[in-house]
Structure 1
């Protein structure tokens, strides 16, 4: 199989700054990829600056985030080679939308936020999202997670000390709007969380899940995979035993990165 010279764009999810991808950027660069990790619209260049200017993320929704990355990709010109996109959490949903929209050559969605059509709603997922969804006014605001809330949603498989360290190092305020849009996706025909799962003429997609994830539980990502499987597209699924939602930034991140690298190599990238 020939090797395709595609760059890789990393997309962060809610509450984690784009700079948390740096270890991944280093490893992928060593493997010969051109890499970047642009933030969401409204993000500042650093964790501290984003915390200080949280209001810049107010009312940023899924569509604006997708458009932001699509514009970054199209800025390369119509003859540029499409990138591979790798996203975590809401970044995983964005990656799927970019792939379905013809902006990406392949996508890896790590513990991705559910797409429209998923009906499973575990209690752990509701509890993880409650700091935002518990107050309807948060739809238009930016919300931060406390150490305790972060430990439940992200670091449930870590010690309190390791979870607190990750929270202090990488956590940023997140806009409430994407969570409200995702939570109500099945009630809106043109939801911004809608993805064409029957699209066969697109690049390959890898969906992954940590078996102990609270924010996007395993059964949710399995249902997403089943939606794609019905359409006959090139979609694969991988699960990480004993891992929670922090799997891209905790001490075991390299195991996740290696799975993505091996999959891309198998697909010819």
Structure 2
């Protein structure tokens, strides 16, 4: 099957994305045996810190160079109140291109949508979508049903609000949950609006293998949306019952990251 890839994007050349300083946190193994680097991309309200808590060091301990990016406007990077999904995807592509080898892109939540857009511009070794929020009217309506008081302000340019029960499972100690919630930031209004009502990502360059992880008990992402995201890439989601939306911060955080790394050790790139 012939895949059509857009090479020229004239309007993007005419309106380049503004450069910013981006925070990138790193954890590298003591011995470099040539494994592909991982680039973790956080969702809205989060930052590189969400992966530095557990996954970054764990990946490095298993021999994978690991890097976590704070998108523009997220804690650690330059402010960007009018950031767009296009600007976020630009951030991912720029950082991925600076790594010494073809990277594996790992996006969480809305960061998975950013990764999906970046895949149309960067030939990734592979991609992992963790609890992917791909947006659209279906996601917006599901969010309104599950969290009306937190979602309604976002429809009018306000902040999307989430709770402890939506992000974490019951096993996470309350002290840890409060600490993580206190670090959540404010997503850019335009990017938040594009998440709810934006366009579908273009096809990925090079047809990289894609793994989708999630939880059937996720109170942000409805189960059918998780299945649709996986089917988009010709697979089925790998599920972790009892966990919340933030798999990388929840009590059993080792299970999904070990599954991710096990898959990378076995799955060759199709690119």
TM-score by length of 2: 0.74
CA contact (8 A) 2:134 2:195 kept: yes
CA contact (8 A) 1:14 1:90 kept: yes
Structure-2 change in CA distance of 1:163 and 1:107 (3 Å): same
**Structure-2 residue corresponding to 1:86:** 106
Q: Paired residue for 2:202, among 184, 195, 199?
A: 195
Q: Paired residue for 1:219, among 215, 224, 232?
A: 224
Q: Does 1:29 align with 2:48?
A: no
Structure-2 change in CA distance of 1:216 and 1:113 (3 Å): same
Distance in 1, matches of 2:123 and 2:88, equals 14
The Cα shift of 1:19 comes to 1.1
- CA offsets per residue over residues 91-119 of structure 1, 9 Å max, x none? 11222233343331101100011266x84
Three-state SS of the structure 2 residue aligned to 1:164 is: helix
Three-state SS of the structure 2 residue aligned to 1:174 is: coil
Q: Once superposed, what is the RMSD of the aligned Cα atoms?
A: 2.9
**Structure-2 residue corresponding to 1:165:** 179
**Structure-1 residue corresponding to 2:82:** 59
CA contact (8 A) 2:135 2:196 kept: no
CA contact (8 A) 2:227 2:236 kept: no
- CA offsets per residue over residues 41-70 of structure 1, 9 Å max, x none? 12342xxxx8xx9xx242212111000111
* 4+ residue runs over 6 A deviation: none
**Structure-1 residue corresponding to 2:150:** 131
Which structure is higher in RCO with an 8 Å CA cutoff and minimum separation 6?
1
Structure-2 change in CA distance of 1:83 and 1:217 (3 Å): same
Structure-2 change in CA distance of 1:21 and 1:159 (3 Å): closer
The Cα shift of 1:135 comes to 4.9
Structure-2 change in CA distance of 1:42 and 1:123 (3 Å): closer
The Cα shift of 1:165 comes to 3.3
The Cα shift of 1:241 comes to 1.3
Q: Paired residue for 1:73, among 75, 88, 96?
A: 96
**Structure-2 residue corresponding to 1:263:** 263
CA contact (8 A) 2:35 2:63 kept: no
**Structure-1 residue corresponding to 2:189:** 176
Structure-2 change in CA distance of 1:33 and 1:182 (3 Å): same
Distance in 2, matches of 1:208 and 1:125, equals 23
How many residue pairs were aligned? 235
Structure-2 change in CA distance of 1:159 and 1:82 (3 Å): closer
The Cα shift of 1:265 comes to 0.8
Structure-2 change in CA distance of 1:244 and 1:124 (3 Å): farther
The Cα shift of 1:200 comes to 8.5
Distance in 1, matches of 2:68 and 2:165, equals 26
Structure-2 change in CA distance of 1:111 and 1:129 (3 Å): farther
